[in-house]
Chain A
Amino acid sequence: MNPNLRMKTPLALTIFNLLPILAASFGPANTRAQEKPADGELTQDTYEIWRDHVLPRSWELKFQKIEWRTSFWEAVCEAQEKDMPILLWTMNGHPLCNT
């Protein structure tokens, strides 16, 4: 373990890590501020605004660029065959679905 890893505080790390996301949220590429619905009314006029508000932005889906296998056993079998290490992301509920 690199001892430097232990020197940063979780708060500092959190702020540091959020910087690109905050930048993406307020930058010109993200128009959520303009698209945000005015209220909870769903009509033909607000349909697209609501849809676009709910659907994830491209930067929110970057995690899907990894070639995830969807079951640990599948990964064990493949890693054994290819003699490779496994990188496991595990949560209560499937991390790629509803967690």
Chain B
Amino acid sequence: MKDRQLVWSNKRVRELSKNFIPVADACDRMQKEACKDADALIFQKFARQRTYKKGNRGGAQGHYAVTPSGELLASSSMGDPKVFAQLMEEALEKWEAMPKEKRLLPGTPDPAEAGKWRKVEKLYPEDGLVLRHISRDLEKARWPDWNLDYAWFRKEEARQFVPPELKAGAAHDVPFALMERLARFHLIDNVYGLNYTFFPDGSVQKARLTVTVEKIEGAKVFLQLEGETRADTEVPETIGFAPKLLGSATWDTENERFTAFEMVAVGNRWGLGNCNLRRDPTPAPMGIVFTLAGDSPAERLPPVFVSRYEW
């Protein structure tokens, strides 16, 4: 996460990146030797190699300048933009000096090949509700102290946030199954890093969101959100989160979709997690804000636990 602020926010690095095809991707699948997907076979040619060896982090994580054929030009996992900018310049020099037949693949790669491994991406709810999830602690244990994810709802699920009776003052509770999914997979602690621990089935004691129609103006239904959840478990990790929920949303009855959505969840979290770099299990306030996501490729990335949605 430091890379977001240290490396890729740097003006020189951003400027130099225009000489490359810049890409961000997870290495979890590609770095497995058993993985024989087309992208993984290229990735495995250079993964874990470092031309700048300081600051090495685990596995194949890091920054690489490579050719389409998988030739390594430069690599580092150091969070230093000056070092990396210099590596990028060196990579461009190597690229220019390398024969074309070495830097390019012998044949034309087929973009459609990605369909073999990018399966959850196909579940993107085009006509549903996509929320951006941002988390941050009240008290910063260290920096950087925020992270993001996305939450997906299909059209028929999004509709369940809206009271069936559309008149001012009408209220209803969002079905427990939807709120339970939110509590299990999205009201979790990823402030300092990806948390592989979600709340298992049966660990959500409370998951209520009451949605009230505030007013109606033409096709716009203005909604108020209020609720609370509580989830805790001791298996596989001792973790818990008990937030209050508040927010507002606007439902468009003509297009049957939300045109605005903002919900804040605040409460004590406790426990650690798995790989999320949380070091203090003591209960402490954490906040999560959900807002409507945009439509850029990055905002269409799947939620970490989408495969658990049972879609």
What mask results when residues 4 to 25 of chain B are scored 1 for a CB within 8 Å of chain A, else 0?
1111110000100101111111
Q: Contacting B149 at CB < 8 Å: which of A14, A76, A97?
A: A97
Interface membership of B166, Cβ < 8 A = no
Whether A71 and B51, one on each chain, are in contact in the complex, defined by CB atoms closer than 8 angstroms, is no
State how many angstroms separate the Cβ of B111 from the closest Cβ of chain A.
5
A50 touches B5 (CB 8 A): no
Query: Is residue B104 contacting chain A, with contact meaning CB distance below 8 A?
Result: yes
Check A98/B190 contact, CB under 8 A, given A70-B297, A76-B42. yes
Near B by CB (< 8 A), chain A positions 59-99 give 59-60, 62-99
Binary per-residue interface labels of chain A (1-45) against chain B in the complex, 1 for a CB within 8 Å, 0 otherwise: 110011000100110011001000000000000001101111110
Query: Contacts of A71 on B, CB cut-off 8 Å?
Result: 23, 25, 39, 114, 118
Residue of B nearest to A93 (CB): B194
Contact call B297/A90, Cβ cutoff below 8 A: no
Q: How large is the interface on A (under 10, 10 to 19, 20 to 34, 35 or more residues)?
A: 35 or more
Min C-beta distance of A37 to chain B, whole Å:
6
Contact present for A89 and B147 (CB under 8 Å): no
- Please pick, from B14, B114, B288, the residue contacting A74 in the complex, using a CB distance under 8 A: B114
Q: How far is the CA of A83 from the CA of B61 in the complex (A)?
A: 25
For the complex, what is the distance from the CA of A64 to the CA of B111, rounded to whole Å?
24
Chain B interface mostly: mixed
Judged by a CB distance under 8 angstroms, whether B1 is at the interface is yes
Q: Tell me if B240 is interfacial: C-beta within 8 Å of chain A.
A: no
B92 engages A85 (CB within 8 Å): yes
Q: Is the CB of B8 within 8 A of A70?
A: no
Question: Chain B's nearest CB lies how many Å from the CB of A8?
Answer: 8
- The reply to whether B27 and A91 form a contact with Cβ atoms under 8 Å apart is yes
Residue numbers in B under 8 Å from A62 (CB-CB):
5, 8-9, 14
A70 adjacent to B23 (CB under 8 Å): yes
Establish whether residues A1 and B90, one from each chain, have CB atoms under 8 Å apart when the complex forms: yes
B9 adjacent to A63 (CB under 8 Å): yes
The answer to whether A55 and B28 touch across the interface, beta carbons within 8 angstroms, is no
A95 contact set on B, CB distance < 8 A: 3-4, 24-26
Q: Which of A17, A37, A51, A86 contacts B138 (CB 8 A)?
A: A37
Q: Which residues of A contact B136 (CB under 8 A)?
A: 53-54
A–B complex contacts, Cβ < 8 Å, 24 sampled: A13-B78, A18-B143, A37-B285, A42-B243, A46-B266, A53-B287, A54-B289, A60-B144, A60-B146, A71-B23, A74-B114, A75-B21, A76-B109, A79-B67, A86-B66, A87-B20, A89-B22, A90-B25, A90-B64, A91-B3, A95-B24, A97-B301, A98-B147, A99-B26
Contacts from A to B (Cβ < 8 Å): 1-2, 5-6, 10, 13-14, 17-18, 21, 36-37, 39-44, 46-47, 50-51, 53-56, 59-60, 62-99
